[in-house]
Amino acid sequence: MFNWLQFFADWLVFSVFKLSPKSHLGEALDFFVLDTIKIAILLFLITILMGIVNSYFPVEKIRNYLSRNKMYGLEYLFASSFGVITPFCSCSSVPLFIGFVKGGIPLGITFTYLITAPLVNEVAIAIFAASFGFKVAAIYVATGIVLGILGGFVLGKMKLEKYLSPWVKDIIANARTEEKLQEEKLPLIQRFPSITKEALNIVKGVSLYIVIGIGIGAAMHGFLPTGFFEHYINKGQWYAVPLAVLIGVPMYSNAAGVIPVVQVLVAKGVPLGTAIAFMMGVIGLSLPEAMLLKKVMGWQLIAIYFGTIAFFMILSGYLFNFIL
Amino acid sequence: MKHIKVLGPGCAKCKTTYNNVLEAIKQTGIQADVTKIEDIMEMMKYDVLTTPVLMIDEVVKVKGRVADVHEIKQLLIA
C-alpha cells in the first residue's frame, strides 16, 4: 500500500539529494521522509473517519444509552468500544467520571470507558498503523478494548465506592437515569466541514511531537546497527515488561512522538510485546490524569485503578512476547 | 452585553479557549463579560462531559474542543 511512498522517499533522498543509500545519513533521511508522510496521511484519514463516527455517537448519547440500558454484562463491551470512538483529553476525565456515575452507570463500566478512551485513540491507531502496519494496529485496538473490559470488570467487583470523595458518593446516591438525547439531524455533508477542521486541528496539535519522534527514530534507524538492543532487552528477561510499563506511565502526552521511536527500538531488537506494553503505559496511564482524578477519588482508589491497569498491561506484554 | 463562560478544569485546551475568547471580544469590540469556571462542582451543574466548554448567554456553543478566534467571533456576532 505504501510502496509508492517508499519510491518517492528513495527518489527524493538518493536521486535529488544525492545521498548514498548505504550512508548513515541517507538511511536516516529516507526513513524520516517516508515515516513523516505516511503518518501524516494515515493520521488525517483516521481522524476524519473517527470524526464521522463520533459525530453520530457523541459521548452524551453513549452516556445516556448506558444509563438507560442494562445488558447483562454486554455493557462492558459497549463502554469499551465507545471509548475507542470518542476523542479524549485527560482534562475531561473528571467531568466524564461524574457525568457517568450521575446517570447511574456502575463504577466498573465507568472505569471501562475511562481505561479505553485514552488508551485507544485516533492518534495512537494512526501512528501504530504507519509504524508497525495494520495488523499490529488492530492487535493494539483489540487489546485496548479487552483491557478496558477486564480492568473495568475487576475494578467493578472490588466494591471501591467507599474510596470515592464524599461529594461523589452523594451524587451516586442521587443518580437517576438519563433521558434519550435530543439530536440534531444533520446530513453528513453538512457535518463534514467541522469534522475536517477538527481533524486538521488534531494533526496540527500533534505534528511537532511526531516530527521530533520520527527525527529521533530516524537518527537511531540510520546510525544504530540492527539488533543493537537485543543484547540489553530480550524476551528472556522477565523484568523487562514490568519495567517498560513502569517507565511508560510517568511519560505523558508525547504518545505521538513515542511510537516512531519505539518502532525503531523494535527494528533494532526490542521484543514487540515489551514495546507495546511500554507504549500502553505511556498512552493509557498518566500522572496528570491521576492528579485530576484526585478530585473525585481517594488516593487508595487511584492506586488500585492504576495498579490494576498496569497489571493488565504487563500481562498483555508477556502475552504478545509469547505469541508474536 | 453577552455573558460568556469557559468551563474546564484548567488544562491547556481550556486556557487556549479562554484566550481565544478574549481575543475575539477585542477584535469584535462586543460588550461581554467572561467567566472562567474551573470548579468541578460548578461545572457539573451544566452537565458537561467533555471540556473545554464555551457558553454564551447560558447556551452551550462548543464542547470538547478548542474554538478558534474566527469561530468565536461568528458566534458572538450571531
The string of pLDDT tens digits covering residues A173-182 is 888 887 776 7
The average pLDDT across B6-16 equals: 84
ipTM: 0.81
The C-alpha cell 485507544 sits at A120
Distance from CA of B48 to the nearest CA of A (A): 6
Q: What is the DSSP letter of B68?
A: P
- Lowest pLDDT segment from A37-51, A139-153, A185-199, A243-257: A243-257
- Considering only CB atoms, B51 lies closest to which of A60, A91, A167, namely A91
Catalytic residue among B4, B14, B56, B76: B14
pLDDT score of A147:
95
Check whether A260 has a pLDDT greater than 80.
Answer: yes
Whole-angstrom distance, CA of residue B69 vs CA of residue B56: 14
The average pLDDT across B54-77 equals: 89
Q: What is the DSSP letter of A164?
A: B
Q: Which residue has the higher pLDDT, A225 or A307?
A: A307
Half-sphere exposure of A116 (CA within 13 A, CB side): 30
Sheet holding B2-7, edge to edge: B32-37, B2-7, B53-56, B59-63
pLDDT score of B39:
84
- Residue A51 sits at φ, ψ, to 5 deg, of -60, -40
What ranges do the domains of chain A cover? 20-323
Q: Is B31 a catalytic residue?
A: no
- Name chain A contacts of B13, Cβ cutoff 8 Å: 89, 91
Q: Is B24 a catalytic residue?
A: no
Check whether B10 has a pLDDT greater than 80.
Answer: no
pLDDT confidence of A305, banded at 50, 70, 90?
A: very high
- Name chain A contacts of B52, Cβ cutoff 8 Å: 91
Check whether A253 has a pLDDT greater than 60.
Answer: no
Check whether A254 has a pLDDT greater than 70.
Answer: no
Q: Please state, for a pLDDT cut of 90, what percent of chain A lies above it.
A: 28
Handedness of CA A68, A70, A76, A81 (dihedral sign): negative
β pairing state of B53-56 and B2-7: antiparallel
CA-to-CA separations, B27 to A162, B24, B56, in angstroms, rounded: 50, 5, 17
Topology given in CATH for the domain delimited by B2-77 = Glutaredoxin (3.40.30)
- Name chain A contacts of B44, Cβ cutoff 8 Å: 95, 98-99, 102, 171
Contact A95 B64 (CB under 8 A): no
Catalytic residue among B3, B11, B45, B74: B11
The average pLDDT across A137-152 equals: 94
Query: What cell numbers appear for A12 in the block?
Result: 527524493
- Name chain A contacts of B50, Cβ cutoff 8 Å: 59, 87, 89, 92, 95-96
Q: What is the DSSP letter of A202?
A: H
Distance from CA of B36 to the nearest CA of A (A): 15
